[in-house]
């Protein structure tokens, strides 16, 4: 999920640095797709961020439920996921702040590296450095 979300959000975050304020920090009345009819040239950017936000929120929700069901979730894990899910649903549910959303979603690029570090840490002396 992280690569898909990053591939959708990062180009939009870069492009929206040059966008007018009413676009970068605006909203859309079309909640299903976050379509931008007032600024058609920015329509794809808004919809890409909306899709990335939907994918991110769905993953976070599923990850939280699965981790809770299998006893893998600590209190800080649940707090972290609930906070991000609330932010994701708020931004996506109101189709607002596309630049902020794109910038925040672009940080998912670090997830594969974090997952690798979590997999390899505390493996003990008997494990090799390479998986």
Q: What is the pLDDT of residue 115?
A: 82
Q: What is the pLDDT of residue 131?
A: 59
H or E element: which one contains 77? Answer: helix 75-93
pLDDT digits (tens, 9 = 90+) for 21-57: 999 999 998 888 898 888 899 999 999 999 999 999 9
Q: Under a CB-based contact definition with an 8 Å cutoff, are residues 7 and 82 in contact?
A: no
Q: Under a CB-based contact definition with an 8 Å cutoff, are residues 28 and 34 in contact?
A: yes
Residue 96's SS3 state is strand
How far is the C-alpha of 56 from the C-alpha of 101, rounded, in Å? 11
How far is the C-alpha of 28 from the C-alpha of 37, rounded, in Å? 8
Q: Under a CB-based contact definition with an 8 Å cutoff, are residues 57 and 89 in contact?
A: yes
How far is the C-alpha of 52 from the C-alpha of 106, rounded, in Å? 9
How far is the C-alpha of 59 from the C-alpha of 47, rounded, in Å? 18
């Amino acid at each position: 999920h992280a690569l898909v979300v990053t591939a959708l959000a990062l180009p939009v975050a870069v492009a929206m640095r040059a966008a007018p304020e009413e676009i970068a920090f605006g909203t859309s009345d079309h909640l299903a797709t976050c379509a931008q009819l007032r600024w058609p040239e920015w329509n794809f950017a808004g919809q890409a961020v909306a899709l990335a936000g939907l994918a991110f929120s769905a993953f976070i929700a599923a990850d939280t439920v699965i981790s809770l069901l299998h006893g893998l979730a600590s209190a800080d894990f649940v707090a972290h996921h609930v906070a991000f899910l609330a932010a994701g649903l708020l931004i996506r549910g109101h189709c607002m702040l596309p630049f902020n959303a794109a910038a925040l979603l672009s940080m998912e690029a670090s997830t594969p590296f974090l997952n690798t570090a979590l997999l390899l840490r505390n493996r003990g002396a008997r494990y090799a450095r390479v998986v």
